[in-house]
A and B are shown apart, each in its own frame.
Chain A
């Protein structure tokens, strides 16, 4: 561990908070329909879009109508993406946008990829540079990066409107929220981030792959493409699908020490700002600060554990005789699957940032993390991504936990639980309980199915098998992580787990592993849309409730006591659900130095 490493972590938390505060206020203004600084630029295009889409933005929708628009829009988007990916080398695709003439991936892999990008997961069984044409990356995957992020954010906004609603049933208008999210929030940030990244070495071109003749007489082929535009929105929208296979570890996606820091900020800025937005919209900023505090405490805890564990090094390194301490000119630590320019702190922090959110971009190989270091992303996912979480998904998920915490707190003091002046009744608690349990249920069910079946074991990588060919804790970790990550719509991976066998670039002669592709695809779809429906239903149930003024006995939800209670509830639910499974994989590896 180094001083610079700890400094990076501290400064990251400080700078993130400083940037997210004003953005939160700005977003509160956007979703309250007030004029904002960008209104003069976007008001015209906004009206034009409503006209094109034939919607009346002033028409309020109740939760069912809101949900219906969201589901239909997602379904149409799914079909469009599937079509784009399956017609990758169709005659109408210009050569410029498919210079290598790549064929389409098989149907089962395409099903998985489509569901993955639709649900903001960006789980990738394929590797970008050997599978996707430039057109597929742009009009297929990039578009869904925007739209799935937008859909996540509008659900959170609708839930907040339900919580603060004073009368009636309206949660706002889905189309208006979506258009505003894209124009006022995502577009300016995405253009800004893309241009900063391009100025630092993230490539942006439509060239054919470069052929290099090296000074020692070898030949190297270098993949190219329009990376900056896609990389920027995949960070901001917490999508995480890399243009290249190795994602944010690839020097063309994350070229320098500076871009690594910048990219982490880009991932967390919107999820963090949404929490402040929530505080603003409820009329009591402290409500936002309390949730932010709970998130930040858990976030920093995760970062510290990951950093210390990775700096310590792995049993395999020590068994080989390596010294993993800091020496002059080297940061030491477990550098297997890590890049020199990021070092241990930059890698541990990045991977915590992208696994607490639903981003899932990685700048190092999670599978090569030490047992305890690797248990951190597991734990982040086990908390159902409420530590900042994905854009929108993080806020609406933690609000369900807040509801639960208020209920439990109410039981402890023996009063009817109240939240922001609204009485919580059986209906809301049931909905929140179910909403919280969906993700763990999907993850554990799929993991059980995959570990218990021969078809599931086919996906385990060769390196995770023991020398005799038997399964190891690593093989279990791979499988568990795959379905946990997909259920949480995260998309990071213990990347040995595979669902796509591709002997040649361009998908000719390749085939998918139907079991893993389909199970993962349904895992993602179910764990995305079921909680969304529960969140909207809660919003609908709360919207019509009368507000009673807070009395002396009302439990406050904006003070440190509540922060502690909230953290307790989140950890309790996560630990009770996942601890047995975690023991079998990462923890057993972390606690013993045994080699398998």
Chain B
């Protein structure tokens, strides 16, 4: 018994140093030298300013302003409305505002829940609204109906930080982007293809369109939106 206790105490200390300090420092050190971009989160800079990470999705909304000109807040989170000039990311369930990358979380909405249905309906309404021309009150994409909305556009993601949307979602939004930015749809669709990640090894997963990269490319094409 005593032998076991002594060995255990030494064992825990030795392994804590080897596996809890040496190992993580070694892996982190190697990664920092060999893949500095990846190890630091694939940061994207614009004019020397950090504008995001390629891997972390963003809210491409603008703050809703109160009458006094200050951003409106609910429970400490800034209220935003989608900016029609940019492709919009998937719904995000993170607390403290959408795409809070310091507290990832999912919605936990159950499959047979009235709350899930209502959340879906709300997102559907917002998506149709977003893709409707406010001047003519018609859809930018003439074929757009509830049944044609891709599921990823209205179901919230697992991490709350999904950097990608489906191609179908991007193609629908392309009608709006082309109209608002006075671009041809062919130009926008070409950009979508350019920023679509393919299946891993040719079969794993689904293709996805990186929203931040796509939006940055749009700004480069037609001049900064913001």
Contact = CB atoms under 8 A, between A and B. Distances in A.
B134 to A, nearest CB: 18
B113 A595 contact: yes
Interface stretch (A19-27, A33-41, A142-150, A511-519): A142-150
Interface residues of A, number: 140
Interface in A78-126: 80
B4 A52 contact: no
A365 B111 CA distance: 11
Given A316-B116, A371-B112, A258 B107 contact: no
B131 interface: no
A363 B10 CA distance: 37
Interface in B144-160: 146-152, 154-160
Given A228-B39, A330-B168, A338-B157, A323 B148 contact: yes
Contacts of A371: 111-112
Contact of B60 (A175, A198, A216): A216
Contacts of B38: 198-203
A55 interface: yes
B10 A54 contact: yes
Which of B40, B121, B159, B160 has the most C-beta atoms of chain A within 10 angstroms of its own C-beta? B159
Interface string B191-226: 000000111110111111000000110010000111
Given A53-B11, A129-B103, A368 B5 contact: no
A474 B113 CA distance: 8
B108 A143 contact: no
B104 A365 contact: no
A75 B63 CA distance: 52
B178 interface: no
B62 A72 contact: no
A443 to B, nearest CB: 21
Which of A140, A194, A466 has the most C-beta atoms of chain B within 10 angstroms of its own C-beta? A194
Contacts of B20: 138-140, 142-143
A222 B146 contact: no
B108 A327 contact: no
Contacts of B8: 69, 72-73, 75-77
A330 B148 CA distance: 11
Given A210-B53, A220-B99, A339 B157 contact: yes
Contact of B104 (A205, A246, A315): A246
Contact of B206 (A334, A340, A589): A340
A320 B117 contact: yes
Interface in B79-134: 80, 83, 86, 90, 99-117, 120-121, 124
B67 interface: no
B179 interface: no
A363 B215 CA distance: 26
Contact of A206 (B28, B105, B157): B28
B12 A229 contact: no
A430 to B, nearest CB: 28
A209 B4 contact: no
B180 interface: no
Interface string A475-517: 0010000000000000000111000000001000000000000
A337 B157 contact: yes
A592 B102 CA distance: 38
A250 B55 CA distance: 9
B27 interface: yes
B186 interface: no
Contacts of A152: none
B106 A495 contact: yes
B46 interface: yes
B166 A329 contact: yes
Interface string B154-173: 11111111111111111100
A204 B116 CA distance: 36
Interface residues of B, number: 117
B19 A249 contact: no
A256 interface: yes
A466 B28 contact: no
B42 A201 contact: yes
A68 B3 CA distance: 11
A374 interface: yes
A401 to B, nearest CB: 31
A255 B199 contact: no
A477 B10 CA distance: 43
A394 B32 CA distance: 36
A243 B32 CA distance: 19
A194 B212 CA distance: 27
B159 A336 contact: no
B107 to A, nearest CB: 6
Contact of A337 (B52, B117, B156, B207): B156
B28 A205 contact: yes
Contact of B63 (A178, A200, A217, A373): A217
Contacts of A212: 50-53, 58
A480 to B, nearest CB: 14
Which of B6, B104, B205 has the most C-beta atoms of chain A within 10 angstroms of its own C-beta? B205
B108 A461 contact: yes
A220 B52 contact: yes
B71 to A, nearest CB: 9
Which of A4, A69, A232, A338 has the most C-beta atoms of chain B within 10 angstroms of its own C-beta? A338
A72 B1 contact: yes
Interface string A1-31: 0001001100100000000000000000000
B31 A204 contact: yes
Contacts of B110: 316, 367-368, 463-464, 472, 474, 477, 589, 596
B203 A316 contact: no
B155 A129 contact: no
B39 A203 contact: yes
Contacts of A198: 27, 30-31, 34-35, 38-39
Nearest to A70: B4
Contacts of B169: 329-330
Nearest to B91: A336
Contact of B155 (A140, A338, A342, A474): A338
Leading 6 A-B pairs by shortest Cβ distance? A257-B205, A343-B206, A257-B200, A258-B200, A329-B168, A139-B20
Given A198-B34, A212-B51, A330-B168, 8 more contacts: A200-B38, A218-B80, A229-B23, A257-B201, A316-B114, A340-B165, A341-B206, A595-B112
8 contacts: A54-B3, A205-B39, A220-B101, A222-B101, A322-B154, A324-B151, A334-B151, A341-B208
